[in-house]
């Protein structure tokens, strides 16, 4: 999801400058200025203030890049970011404390504990679909842990990237946190540098490249990827409410959400009712003419618009399908009686097109999911406890919801991440702090006693003591 673009004023560097930037940050980090708890809390305070200073510009930029309304931008970007920041700030002191653990009897007399330390200089590469949230939320965890950070937002959302470059520049010296704007060349240049940690959010193909580049330096990574996230609806579901929550999750940000329901597996007995209710909810939320709704977003660019439009099969179209090329808008669209072989099922849609696949029963739905790569999210709508439990235990996915969509990522109390092809690692709240921290294991041995059994020469009585202590 990257392309070549020229660097703009306000960026922290250009191609060939990445090494210099990383070295400067490493020097700054080694001076110890980021590690004290007070320094980390101060960094979070400065970030918060800078976000608030540029809040109005962020709304304008998100409107420019993605057509997001002010309400949606606050709900899904600004508000979520501030909520995460304030949660982390409240808890970072407790997370940072050394943690006592049990010491085995064989190590008598000693104390065992773990120490959290920052990795050092980290790289955060973010996508275009939620350009503020998915850039600054990982940054919050990195700052709370005491790291220096290079931020690389996507070239596809230039207006938001420019605002973030300004707010970061106002809050931090570049040796501490900096934003590098640009496209493929800048990405490649950054990935050739030695970072202490890389956090990447984006597509699977680029994620593989990131992992390959990181392996040259044995750099640990978190990969937040994607995939085709299924939604399962059984005959016991509250169909009108299912339709409302499904339409919200699918068409938010014009379907350009990594955890949007990608397709629906619905039991045949309730398929027609579900389709009817989905069409009603689309009209209720977006009006009779969604393309004229000023609060309905747009595709990020022409290439993406053309790709998603090409997935609409007129023979299976039951709702939507209208497009407005000059504004890069595609109406909320529903395809019925889709099969696994249809083009719309061959890739992650990442747009406002919802395929509906009828299944005989829950067993068929589970098999359908099991036979495919592990998705980032899964949703099930049911009133049946047994069905709920089967989905939880028989399918593998990053996370999800029972009787709702996408809201599982909007909490700092739980980690968010993928599994298999949908990614590795997680973040949010304490998970973010842990992701950007290395946990050192320490044993402090006291000197007033020294048990002789571990030292040579080994004798029978020493072996007996070892067997007594080590069980």
Q: Assign 3-class secondary structure to 265-334.
A: EEEHHHHHHHHHHHHHHHHHHHCCCHHHCCCCCCCCCHHHHHHHHCCCCHHHEEECCCEEHHHCEECCEE
Confidence at residue 16, expressed as pLDDT on a 0 to 100 scale? 64
Q: Which CATH class is domain 230-417?
A: alpha beta
**Which two structure tokens, joined as six digits, stand for 236?**
């016991």
| CA distance readout (Å), 72 to 64, 75, 112, 171, 252 | 14, 5, 48, 25, 8
Q: Summarize pLDDT for 202-230 with one digit per residue, the tens.
A: 999 999 999 999 999 999 999 999 899 99
What pLDDT score was predicted for residue 9? 33
Active site residues: 224, 258
Kind plus residue range of the DSSP H or E element containing 240: helix 239-251
Q: What is the DSSP letter of 238?
A: -
**Cβ atoms within 10 Å, residue 362:** 21
Look up tokens 């990237």; give the residue: 161
Using one digit for the tens of pLDDT, what is the confidence trace for 396-418? 999 999 999 999 999 999 999 99
In which band, very low, low, confident or very high, does the pLDDT at 6 lie, cut at 50, 70 and 90?
Answer: very low
pLDDT for res 379: 98
**Strand positions, DSSP E, 331-398:** 333-335, 353-359, 377-381
The residue assigned the tokens 């605002």 is 163
Q: pTM of the entire structure?
A: 0.93
Measured distance CA(18)–CA(16) in Å, rounded: 6
Q: How far apart are CA 251 and CA 459, in angstroms?
A: 74
Strand residues in 23-119 grouped as ranges (E): 99-101, 110-118
pLDDT reported for residue 3: 33
| Residue limits of CATH 3.40.309.10 in the chain | 230-417
Average pLDDT over residues 286-290: 96
d(CA 455, CA 470): 15
φ/ψ of 100, rounded to 5, equals: -70, 140
Rounded mean pLDDT, 60-75: 97
Return the residue matching tokens 């009779």. 288
Calculate what percentage of the chain has a pLDDT beyond 70. 97
Residues 428-469 pLDDT 10s: 999 999 999 999 999 999 988 888 888 899 999 888 888 888
Would you say 409 and 416 are in contact if contact means Cβ atoms under 8 Å apart?
Answer: yes
Segment 309-330 shows an average pLDDT of 97
Q: Which of 93-102, 256-265, 462-471 has the lowest mean pLDDT?
A: 462-471
| Per-residue model confidence (pLDDT) at position 2 | 33
pLDDT for 11 = 43
What's the pLDDT tens digit per position in 7-63? Answer: 333 344 445 689 999 999 999 999 999 999 999 999 999 999 999 999 999 999 999
pLDDT at 466: 86
Mean pLDDT of the chain: 94
CATH annotation of 18-225+423-439: 3.40.605.10
Q: Where does CATH 3.40.605.10 sit in the chain? A: 18-225+423-439
């Amino acid at each position: 999801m990257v392309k070549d673009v020229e660097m703009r004023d306000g960026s922290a560097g250009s191609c060939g400058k990445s090494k210099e930037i990383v070295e400067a940050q490493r020097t700054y980090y080694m001076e110890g200025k980021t590690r004290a708890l007070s320094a980390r809390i101060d960094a979070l305070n400065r970030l918060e203030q800078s976000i608030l200073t540029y809040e109005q510009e962020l709304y304008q930029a998100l409107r420019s890049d993605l057509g997001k309304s002010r309400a949606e931008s606050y709900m899904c970007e600004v508000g979520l970011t501030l909520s995460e920041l304030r949660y982390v700030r409240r808890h970072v002191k407790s997370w940072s404390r050394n943690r006592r653990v049990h010491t085995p009897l064989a190590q008598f007399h000693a104390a065992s504990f773990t120490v959290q330390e920052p990795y050092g200089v980290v790289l955060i590469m973010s996508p275009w679909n939620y350009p503020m949230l998915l850039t600054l939320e990982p940054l919050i965890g990195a700052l709370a842990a005491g790291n220096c950070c290079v931020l690389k937002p996507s070239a596809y959302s230039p207006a938001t990237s420019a605002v973030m470059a300004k707010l970061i520049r106002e809050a931090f010296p570049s040796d501490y946190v900096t934003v590098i704007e640009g496209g493929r060349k800048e990405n490649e240049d950054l990935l050739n540098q030695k970072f202490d940690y890389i956090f990447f959010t984006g597509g699977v193909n680029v994620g593989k490249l990131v992992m390959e580049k990181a392996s040259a330096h044995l750099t640990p990574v978190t990969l937040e990827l994607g995939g085709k996230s299924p939604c399962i609806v059984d005959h016991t579901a509250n169909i009108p409410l299912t339709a409302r929550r499904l339409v919200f999750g699918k068409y938010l940000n014009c379907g350009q959400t990594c955890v949007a329901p990608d397709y629906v597996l619905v039991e045949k007995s309730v398929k027609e009712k579900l389709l009817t209710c989905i069409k009603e909810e689309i009209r209720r939320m977006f009006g009779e003419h969604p393309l004229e709704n000023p609060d309905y977003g747009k595709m990020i660019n022409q290439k993406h618009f053309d790709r998603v439009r090409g997935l609409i099969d007129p023979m299976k179209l039951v709702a939507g399908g209208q497009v407005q090329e000059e504004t890069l808008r595609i109406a909320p669209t529903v395809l019925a009686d889709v099969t696994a072989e249809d083009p719309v099922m061959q890739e992650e849609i990442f747009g406002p097109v919802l395929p509906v696949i009828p299944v005989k029963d829950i067993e068929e739905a589970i098999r359908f999911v099991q036979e495919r790569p592990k998705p980032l999210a899964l949703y099930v709508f049911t009133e049946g406890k047994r069905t709920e439990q089967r989905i939880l235990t028989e399918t593998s996915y990053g996370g999800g919801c029972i009787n709702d969509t996408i809201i599982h990522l909007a909490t700092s109390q739980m980690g968010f991440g993928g599994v298999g092809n949908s990614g590795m690692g997680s973040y949010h709240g304490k998970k973010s702090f842990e992701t950007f921290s290395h946990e050192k294991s320490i044993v402090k041995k006291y000197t007033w006693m020294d048990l002789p059994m571990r030292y040579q020469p080994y004798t029978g009585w020493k072996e007996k003591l070892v067997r007594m202590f080590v069980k």
